[in-house]
């Protein structure tokens, strides 16, 4: 029997990350799930305590999950898969008039209209499960933003269902592992996406437009582009890019060869495109 793959994800149990990790794990013969209390800790579990980590990378409304993108700059990891799951929240409370609301930092942005109606302080947490735990431990009138799928086993004085600002709320997750472990073989009939980072090591006017022109010239379609501050000085940014295609496609190879003449490029991985029909 093959040894079980150790999958790290955000805990305690009940997070959307756990749902994503379980969905990812369906393709593995054997796995064990390990929970960590913050996204940074999930990624740090690689490689000693986990083989694969499943983390959120983008919410359809809130955009990219910055701590995850920033980890890729500091510590190269390989993205091996992506999956998207629907995200629905409720506001639950132990009192009709809560004096504070526990909300995970990404969840807060997805439920801003509902939260602003309560006009009480928001206490940021590291996960949606932690929000629920803190509410259960609270001796004061409090509320929490919690995943709809966690409501079952609990009873509350006050519940408001479906509080996301946009009805169609979804978060995209990636499965990552240490780079260079095994070659990801390209499967025929699979539509791929590739993630990469352009490291701004020689800042100059027109840096971004030059790179975009290279992608355009080779007809490489970009599906995401975010800039993240380098933390070195104002005005200096790294670029996280996702594009259609596999890193071995001739167009992507040619584009990256040209871009690498000017800036460092880190290819984070090519993986099946979850959005492809």
Report the interface residues with ligand PRE, using CB under 6 A.
10, 15-17, 56, 59, 65, 87, 104, 106-107, 127-128, 147, 171
Euclidean distance between CA atoms 199 and 204, whole angstroms: 13
Strand partners, 257: none
How far apart are CB 109 and ligand PRE at their closest, in Å? Answer: 9
> What SS3 state is found at 244?
strand
Minimum gap (Å) between residue 16 Cβ and ligand PRE: 4
| Distance between CA atoms of residues 45 and 38, nearest Å | 11
CB atoms inside a 10 Å sphere around CB 64: 18
The partner residues of 32 in beta bridges, in order of sequence, read: 6
Smallest separation (angstroms) from ligand PRE to the CB of 125: 8
Nearer to ligand PRE, 20 or 259 (CB): 20
Q: Which is nearer to ligand PRE, 147 or 269 (CB)?
A: 147
CB atoms within 10 A of CB 103: 25
CB of 58 to ligand PRE, least distance (A): 8
Q: Based on CB atoms, which residue is closest to ligand PRE, 65 or 220? A: 65
Structure tokens at 88: 């629905």
Between 50 and 259, CB nearer to ligand PRE: 50
Report in angstroms how near the CB of residue 106 gets to ligand PRE at its nearest.
4
Q: What is the Cα–Cα distance from 55 to 176, expressed in whole angstroms?
A: 8
39 or 256: CB nearest ligand PRE: 39
Q: How many Å apart are CA 140 and CA 134, to the nearest integer?
A: 11
Q: CB neighbours (10 Å) of residue 42?
A: 28
């Amino acid at each position: 029997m093959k040894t079980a793959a150790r999958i790290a994800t955000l805990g305690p149990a009940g997070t959307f990350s756990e749902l994503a990790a379980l969905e990812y794990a369906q393709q593995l013969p054997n796995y064990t799930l390990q929970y960590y209390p913050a996204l940074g800790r999930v990624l740090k579990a690689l490689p000693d305590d986990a083989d694969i980590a499943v983390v959120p990378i983008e919410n359809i409304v809130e955009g990219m999950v910055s701590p995850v993108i920033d980890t890729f700059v500091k510590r190269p990891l390989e993205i091996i898969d992506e999956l998207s799951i629907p995200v629905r929240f409720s506001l639950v409370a132990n009192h009709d008039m809560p004096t504070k609301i526990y909300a995970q930092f990404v969840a807060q942005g997805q439920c801003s209209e509902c939260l602003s109606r309560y006009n009480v302080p928001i206490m940021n947490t590291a996960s949606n499960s932690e929000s629920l735990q803190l509410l259960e431990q609270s001796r004061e009138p409090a509320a929490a933003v919690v995943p709809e799928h966690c409501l079952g086993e609990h009873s509350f004085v006050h519940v408001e269902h479906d509080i996301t600002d946009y009805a169609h709320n979804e978060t995209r997750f990636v499965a990552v592992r240490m780079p260079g472990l095994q070659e990801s073989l390209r499967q025929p009939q699979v539509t791929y996406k590739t993630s990469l980072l352009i490291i701004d090591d020689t800042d100059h006017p027109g840096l971004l437009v030059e790179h975009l022109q290279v992608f355009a010239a080779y007809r490489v379609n970009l599906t995401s582009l975010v800039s993240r501050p380098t933390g070195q000085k104002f005005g200096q940014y790294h670029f996280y890019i996702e594009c259609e295609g596999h890193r071995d496609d001739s167009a992507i190879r040619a584009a990256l060869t040209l871009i690498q003449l000017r800036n460092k490029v880190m290819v984070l991985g090519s993986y099946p495109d979850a959005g492809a029909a």
